[in-house]
């Protein structure tokens, strides 16, 4: 159905439209892409491509622009991987160096991704499912208010206020000792299993407080940190479209909704490799006029979370995909090393 030349033409249309941002006609095509055929021939091929739904005309007698289906074909079969430039590689390395905690890693990643793709970047906080509890502390702030602190093997520190109800210091110390002894080295799932019997086995005088603390621990341990996302590069939305109100506004609104972004990343990515959702393929209606390029990141056996970019369907897919892939890999390695 689609012979080589038609595919070449489709590729040329996509490439040209992405860089020129204008509908592309048959003459420009043969001139800029050495097709060695006449414009008339190209027109015939374009008629077929249009019939098949890969390209369309904004109006009669304008050039053609790719449809979502056209971009999809391009991404799946026509795009050649565009390796990162040396400067980009170096940027990735230097950008991350010196990030001390997880917050900073995420913040820098989002900045980095926005900068090299020149799109809006989204990074989800990593969930480190293999993490185990390393240390547990109960700090007294006042006779009534305490702070439960949990440190896991990756160095993440979680906290939560607990109501101490005037419990005496030695009760507190007793509880802390028991909890540390019982829970250190356990993974989240094991903590959940063990929680009930742990409370049951506490001495009567410690049990009320113990129950409160354990339930706080459970909250912390089951709370999914990857339910947080960070967004960056919003100014790049400028390059989206000329009609601000109708196209940019819904995207801006979507970007403020953590829940939406999480669902989006979840449905688009989820694997270790780069995935692309083009226009109407997107699960979320207000983003139907955008494309999402996303990838999971983590180690080879363990995906922790997702990251990606949102941009106009008319985007440079090869470069964007290469950048997302590179950043995802680098962040995965960086976090794995600690």
Partner DNA sequence: ACTGGCACTCCACCACCGAGAGTGCCAACA
Partner DNA sequence: TGTTGGCACTCTCGGTGGTGGAGTGCCAGT
Of the candidates 142, 114, 154, 105, the one whose C-alpha atom is nearest the C-alpha of residue 239 is 114
151 binds, among its own copies, DNA, none (CB under 5 to 8 A by kind): its own copies
As given in the structure block, the two tokens for residue 134 are 């390393």
Question: Which range of residues in 46-54, 87-95, 133-141, 311-319 is near DNA by CB under 7 A?
Answer: 46-54
> What residues from 196 to 235 belong to the interface with its own copies (CB under 8 A)?
232-235
Q: Taking CB under 7 A as the rule, does residue 62 contact DNA?
A: yes
CA 192 vs CA 35, 132, 183: distances in Å: 65, 12, 10
Q: Taking CB under 8 A as the rule, does residue 238 contact its own copies?
A: yes
Q: Taking CB under 8 A as the rule, does residue 90 contact its own copies?
A: no
193 binds, among DNA, its own copies, none (CB under 5 to 8 A by kind): none
Dump the DSSP string for 281-296.
GSSSGGGTTEEEEEEE
As given in the structure block, the two tokens for residue 230 are 């960070």
242 binds, among its own copies, DNA, none (CB under 5 to 8 A by kind): its own copies
Beta strands per DSSP E along the chain: 55-56, 65-66, 120-124, 133-140, 145-152, 157-163, 229-232, 275-278, 290-298, 303-312
Q: From the CB of residue 251, how many other CB atoms can be counted at a distance below 10 Å? A: 20
- Toward DNA, which CB reaches closer, 55 or 217? 55
Site residue total, DNA (CB under 7 A): 25
Q: Taking CB under 8 A as the rule, does residue 237 contact its own copies?
A: yes
- Toward DNA, which CB reaches closer, 45 or 174? 45
Count, residues in the chain: 338
Of the candidates 100, 107, 210, the one whose C-alpha atom is nearest the C-alpha of residue 156 is 100
Q: Taking CB under 7 A as the rule, does residue 61 contact DNA?
A: yes
Q: Taking CB under 8 A as the rule, does residue 185 contact its own copies?
A: no
Q: Tell me how many degrees the CA angle 118-121-127 measures, rounded to the nearest 5.
A: 150
Q: Which residues bind DNA (CB under 7 A)?
A: 5, 23-28, 36-41, 43-44, 46-47, 50, 57, 59-64
Q: Which residues sit at the interface with its own copies, rule CB under 8 A?
A: 100-101, 134-135, 137, 139-141, 145, 147, 149, 151, 153-155, 157, 159-161, 232-235, 237-238, 242, 244-245, 248-249, 252-253, 255-256, 338
């Amino acid at each position: 159905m689609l012979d080589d030349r038609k595919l070449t033409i489709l590729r040329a249309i996509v490439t040209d439209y992405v860089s020129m941002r204008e509908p592309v006609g048959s003459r420009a095509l043969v001139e800029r892409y050495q097709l060695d055929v006449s414009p008339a021939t190209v027109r015939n091929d374009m008629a077929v491509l249009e019939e098949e739904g890969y390209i369309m005309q904004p109006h009669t007698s304008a050039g053609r622009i790719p449809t979502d289906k056209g971009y999809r074909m391009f991404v799946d079969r026509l795009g050649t991987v565009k390796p990162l430039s040396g400067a980009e590689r170096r940027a990735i390395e230097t950008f991350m160096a010196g990030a001390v905690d997880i917050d900073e890693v995420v913040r820098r990643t989002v900045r980095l991704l926005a900068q090299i793709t020149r799109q809006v970047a989204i990074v989800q906080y990593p969930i480190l499912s293999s993490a185990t509890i390393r240390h547990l502390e109960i700090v007294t702030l006042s006779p009534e208010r305490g702070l439960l602190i949990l440190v896991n093997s990756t160095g993440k520190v979680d906290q939560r206020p607990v109501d101490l109800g005037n419990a005496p210091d030695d009760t507190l110390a007793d509880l802390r000792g028991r909890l540390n002894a019982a829970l250190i080295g356990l993974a989240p799932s094991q903590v959940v299993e063990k929680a009930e019997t742990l409370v049951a086995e506490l001495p009567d005088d410690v049990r009320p407080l113990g129950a409160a603390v354990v339930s706080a621990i459970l909250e912390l341990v089951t709370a999914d940190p990857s339910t947080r996302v960070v967004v960056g590069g919003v100014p790049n939305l400028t390059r989206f479209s000329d009609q601000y109100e109708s196209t940019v506004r819904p995207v801006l609104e979507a970007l403020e909704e953590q829940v939406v972004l999480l669902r989006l990343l979840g449905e688009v990515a989820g694997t270790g490799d780069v995935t692309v959702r083009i226009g109407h393929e997107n699960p979320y209606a207000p983003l139907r006029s955008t494309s999402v390029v996303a990838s999971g990141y983590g180690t080879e056996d363990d995906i922790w979370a997702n990251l990606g970019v949102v941009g106009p369907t008319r985007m440079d897919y090869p470069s964007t995909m290469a950048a997302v892939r590179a950043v995802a890999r680098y962040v995965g390695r960086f976090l794995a090393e600690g």
